[in-house]
Amino acid sequence: MTTVIPATQAAQEAAAAVRARLGPLWASPSGPDTPRVAIILGSGLGDFADTLSDSRLIPYDEIPHYPQPAVPGHAGQLVYGRAGDLPVMAARGRIHYYEGHSLETVAFPIHLFARLGVQTLIITNAAGCINADWNVGDLMLITGHLDYTFLGGPDDPATVLGEPHHSQRLLDLARRAAREGGIPVREGVYAWTLGPSYETPAEIRHMRSLGAAAVGMSTVPEIRAATDEGLEVLAISCLTNYAAGIQDRPLSHDEVLETGQRVKGTFARLVRGVLDQLQPKENTV
């Protein structure tokens, strides 16, 4: 596909189409039905969209310019619904760089969300666990990230901590949701790789020496785009497997999916606990 219009204009056109689909629900762009919060549902958390009430589904292929996931049978949908009184937009089905998309295309959903009025973004993902003292199935609040793609050159990547990429306010809400929900959470730095192959044990040792606790193939391009758009971001990993070299057996995508299935209920409770603290205040728009 050749896109001849700028990405911002494409996102604007996509936003107009989404608004038109949801029109009767969503009379004015600044009204109470405008979603202020969006969630990207990573592997294993897709079912979270089913917990939203009054939901409306829009397949990605019915939204102009929206990139299509390359994996057959995983068409992907935007889901608009409510968590309590809070209008939420969820992206079920993610676009990855390793599927052949550009980084600009991977970030398209974020630019769309921003044009729909979203101010807060929650990103979820499945990731490999680099810390051998932690357990598979643990949830990790991402407090920082490092770009292990080497797209920018051969030097060791710097760790990016805190604002504006990682909202301290949202991290505090997540800590509180975890505490009040009795959900144990870890905190650490996420290392981003391009994929699609898993890492080597030597790469994992190197990432660990740089301070990373988790590794995955998504999220950082989305965090960057969200920061550029002025959105407040919270990112959470489900540690679905030990990273390469920690255990004496090969990694498997099946393990990633199985762990995701096992902890999806807890993951959903944590996300819901954050959303519950973002509920609209009475009498405010």
The catalytic residues are: 43, 74, 96, 98-99, 126, 217-218, 241, 253
236 binds ligand HPA (CB under 6 A): no
Residues 246-265 interacting with ligand HPA (rule: CB under 6 A): 251, 256
Is 69:76 a contact under the CB 8 Å cutoff? yes
Q: Does 144 bind ligand HPA (CB under 6 A)?
A: no
Is residue 220 involved in binding ligand HPA (CB under 6 A)?
no
Our finding on whether 241 is near ligand HPA (CB under 6 A) is yes
Task: Give me the least distance between CB of 203 and ligand HPA, in Å please.
Answer: 10
Figure out which of the listed residues 127, 141, 173, 234 binds ligand HPA, where binding follows CB under 6 A. 127
Distance (Å, whole) CA 81 – CA 74 = 21
The distance from CA 105 to its chain's CA centroid, rounded to whole angstroms, is 15
Task: Work out whether 105 is an interface residue with ligand HPA (CB under 6 A).
Answer: no
Size of the site for ligand HPA (CB under 6 A): 13
Q: Is residue 128 part of the contact set for ligand HPA (CB under 6 A)?
A: yes
Distance CA 137, CA 214 (A): 12
Instruction: Give 32's DSSP letter.
Output: T
Q: Which of residues 167-196 bind ligand HPA (CB under 6 A)?
A: none
Is position 88 an interface residue for ligand HPA (rule: CB under 6 A)?
A: no
If one asks whether residue 240 binds ligand HPA (CB under 6 A), the answer comes out as: yes
User: Judged by CB, which is closer to ligand HPA: 10, or 251?
Assistant: 251
Nearest-angstrom CA–CA distance, 28 and 195: 41
Q: Between vectors from CA 108 to CA 102 and to CA 111, what angle results, nearest 5°?
A: 140
Per CB under 6 A, 216 contacts ligand HPA: yes
Q: Closest residue (Cβ) to ligand HPA?
A: 128
Q: Across the chain, how many H-helices and E-strands are there?
A: 7, 10
Three-state DSSP class for residue 261: helix
Give the number of other CB atoms < 10 A from CB of residue 194: 14
Q: Is 238 in the site for ligand HPA (CB under 6 A)?
A: no
Among 14, 37, 243, 271, binds ligand HPA (CB under 6 A): 243
Helical packing angle, 108-116 and 220-228, nearest 10°: 40
What is the smallest separation between the CB atom of 244 and ligand HPA, expressed in angstroms? 7
Q: Does 46 contact ligand HPA by CB under 6 A?
A: no
Q: Is 235 in the site for ligand HPA (CB under 6 A)?
A: no
DSSP E strand boundaries for the chain: 37-41, 53-59, 77-83, 86-92, 120-129, 139-147, 159-161, 185-192, 212-216, 232-242
Q: Does 123 bind ligand HPA (CB under 6 A)?
A: no
Among 72-80, 143-151, 212-220, 261-269, the segment contacting ligand HPA (CB under 6 A): 212-220
136 binds ligand HPA (CB under 6 A): no
Residue 107 has φ and ψ, to the nearest 5°, of -85, -5
> For residues 148 and 154, what is the distance between their CA atoms, to the nearest angstrom?
10
Least distance CB 102 / ligand HPA (angstroms):
20
Length of the chain equals 285
Q: Which residues bind ligand HPA (CB under 6 A)?
A: 126-128, 198-199, 215-217, 240-241, 243, 251, 256
